[in-house]
């Protein structure tokens, strides 16, 4: 399900009060716990996740970890009484997974719920939270991206040739596989960026338009393979 541009998978339950989700694993009897994509988009690029040294059953609302970004610090809180059984040890090393893949590899913990009947009491299915989440996204002007940008480039009033030159410069400043957000008002940019991608071998992950502004997500490839030969 898509809510105002933010994904909301229908295979789990949500606690909007704490901006978290729970997903049951029938094989282990545990639940995965993670953050909503809308929260990580609001926070900006998440730079750190720190687990709290907790043990035993914890009450609803207790924190199991803290996330930090340039403009946000917040706790990952339990939506029901539960015991942490496993932590995602990849997250402290790669916290940006909370931005890029919060419903997959960005899961925060696996927990044992103390009382299963508490799950439907404190969490809701995707359809049940859809309207409230949409209102929050609109109010806070949250924008979810397929891959959260590592750098941003705003080029308003510049011709496309100059824009492309600055894109090349900006990509050279970030690491392979990282993503650049380009915002431009050049009307030819949708065509010229496709040509640029074919020429350079770097990838356009997404494109949308709001009024006269075009937004592109551009990924610097580790091994770019041009699809067109450059003109001579």
Domain boundaries, the chain: 2-140, 151-219
Q: Report the CATH fold assignment for 151-219.
A: Translation Initiation Factor IF3 (3.30.110)
Instruction: Report the pLDDT value the prediction gives residue 93, as an integer from 0 to 100.
Output: 96
Question: Does the predicted TM-score (pTM) go above 0.85?
Answer: no
pLDDT for 230 beyond 60: no
Q: What is the pLDDT of residues 150-180, one digit of tens each?
A: 888 999 998 888 999 999 999 999 999 889 9
Spatial separation of the C-alpha atoms in residues 112 and 115, rounded to whole Å: 9
pLDDT for 189 beyond 90: yes
Spatial separation of the C-alpha atoms in residues 108 and 215, rounded to whole Å: 30
Q: How many CA atoms lie within 13 A of 20 on its CB side?
A: 29
Spatial separation of the C-alpha atoms in residues 38 and 141, rounded to whole Å: 10
Percent of the chain with pLDDT over 90: 85
56: DSSP letter: S
CATH 2.40.50.100 fits 2-140, yes or no: yes
Confidence of residue 70 (pLDDT cuts 50, 70, 90): confident
Backbone angles phi, psi at 53, to 5 degrees: -80, 80
Spatial separation of the C-alpha atoms in residues 88 and 118, rounded to whole Å: 24
Among 59, 88, 216, CA closest to 151? 216
């Amino acid at each position: 399900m898509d809510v105002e541009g933010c994904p909301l998978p229908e295979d789990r339950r949500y606690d909007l009060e704490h901006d978290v989700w729970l997903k049951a694993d029938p094989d282990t009897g545990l639940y995965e716990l993670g953050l909503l994509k809308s929260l990580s988009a609001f926070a900006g690029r998440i730079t750190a996740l720190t687990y709290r040294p907790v043990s035993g059953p914890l009450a609803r609302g207790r924190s199991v970890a803290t996330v930090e970004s340039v403009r946000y610090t917040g706790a990952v809180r339990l939506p029901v009484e539960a015991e942490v059984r496993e932590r995602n040890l990849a997250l402290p090393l790669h916290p940006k997974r909370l931005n890029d893949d919060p419903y997959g590899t960005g899961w925060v913990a696996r927990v044992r719920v103390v009382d299963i009947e508490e799950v439907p009491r404190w969490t809701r299915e995707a359809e049940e939270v859809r309207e409230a989440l949409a209102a929050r996204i609109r109010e806070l002007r949250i924008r979810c991206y397929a891959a959260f940008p590592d750098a941003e480039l705003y080029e308003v009033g510049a011709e496309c040739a100059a824009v492309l030159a600055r894109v090349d410069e900006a990509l050279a400043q970030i690491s392979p596989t990282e993503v650049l957000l380009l915002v431009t008002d050049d009307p030819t940019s949708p065509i010229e960026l496709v040509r640029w991608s074919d020429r350079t071998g770097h990838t356009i992950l997404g494109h949308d338009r709001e009024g006269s502004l075009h937004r592109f997500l551009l990924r610097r490839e580790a091994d770019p393979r041009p699809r067109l030969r450059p003109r001579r």
